[in-house]
Amino acid sequence: MSGSYTVVGGGAIGGTLAFHLARAGHQVQVVDTDAAHVAAIRRRGLVIRGADGTERSVPLAACGPDEAPASLGAVILAVKAHATTSAARWIAPRLAADGYVASLQNGLCEPEIAAAVGASRTVSAFVNLFADLVEPGVIADGGPGALVVGELDGTVSPRVRALVADLQAWGPAVASENVAGFLWSKLAYGVVGAAGAAVDDPIFDTIEAFPDLTIALAREVYAVAAAQGIAPEPFDAWEADAFLPDAPPERTRAALAKFCAWLRTQPKTRTGIWRDIAVRHRPTEVPAQYGPVLQVAAEHGIACPGIAAVLAMIGELERGRERHRDNLVELDEAICKGGNGS
């Protein structure tokens, strides 16, 4: 039996999932504020461009927020983290009594969603896929990654199982009782990706050139997770336990080498954060992702000089700071001065 979904935010994540859900026979409507993107989808369908340049399209409904249905059932929220509150407030009066909002986003967005629609109508999810919105109506797809869904209270409900089954039209979606562990692991890698936006090099080159920076940033995030009793989870080729503070150095280095080797096999060589700065020239979601991390860190008395330095540099990059290797040297020094070197 096919389901019906409203995807709010039809970019890299939302567009990719909408495409595969629609191809599998589900009724899908994309709601997006980008009028050109909506118009392109209406004109020729949503297009996925493979790494070899081949294109596939699927027809599906698309509209702006002003044209959306008055009642929404199952909602996949895939907007940038800094747009979460405004999107959730827009959804709230339209959400059916038995509807829910699943956060397919980067960062810790569920509390903002729950504040708007209620915790009982909020579903937690982690997604790591390799895609970019490259032009209106067209998404460059790098293949499946990882996708995990669960309830906020750590249970796996019937609606979670149903959502997971439908999302398997895209790739290896699974249910979990520890979505938080996945979210914090992506934050651990994500801050490395944010640092990598300070240069134009592929992310694997950046990690290999500055391994201590990578390790120190990941450990800062995991220290904050540990203070909350959250057990990090591995995903794709990222081995979470190898980056914990008590991991043997040789284990950490081996895991980092393995991760970089895997990254080299992926068609997408730069992060969405880099694309926002270098190509789209728009604010990134990094402050919305890592502001909450620093807030929790402060509550537990944990110093995170590396994360703070990355946030500051992202702000400068958004305002026109040049991208070059000296930026990573500066970040490396900020962490060493904070005493968090590996």
Distance CA 10, CA 276 (A): 16
pLDDT of residue 341: 46
Digit-coded pLDDT (tens) for 156-179: 999 999 999 999 999 999 999 999
Closest CA to 18 of 117, 135, 102: 102
pLDDT of residue 340: 47
> What token pair was written down for 264?
């080299």
Closest CA to 198 of 65, 72, 91, 312: 312
Burial class of residue 283 (count of CB atoms within 10 Å of its CB; 0-12, 13-18, 19+) = middle
pLDDT of residue 336: 67
Closest CA to 126 of 91, 64, 202, 177: 177
Burial 239-259 (b: 16+ CB within 10 A, else e): bbbbbbeebeeeebeebbeeb
Instruction: Output the pTM of the full model.
Output: 0.94
Q: Which domains does the chain have, with CATH numbers?
A: 4-177 (3.40.50.720), 181-337 (1.10.1040.10)
pLDDT of residue 2: 57
Q: Per-residue confidence of the chain (342 residues) as pLDDT tens digits? A: 357 999 999 999 999 999 999 999 999 999 999 999 999 999 999 999 998 899 999 999 999 999 999 999 999 999 999 999 999 999 999 999 999 999 999 999 999 999 999 999 999 999 998 899 999 999 999 777 899 999 999 999 999 999 999 999 999 999 999 999 999 999 999 999 999 999 999 999 999 999 999 999 999 999 999 999 999 999 999 999 999 989 999 999 999 999 999 999 988 899 999 999 999 999 999 999 999 999 999 999 999 999 999 999 999 999 999 999 999 999 988 786 554 444
Cα angle: 106, vertex 108, 111; to 5 degrees: 135
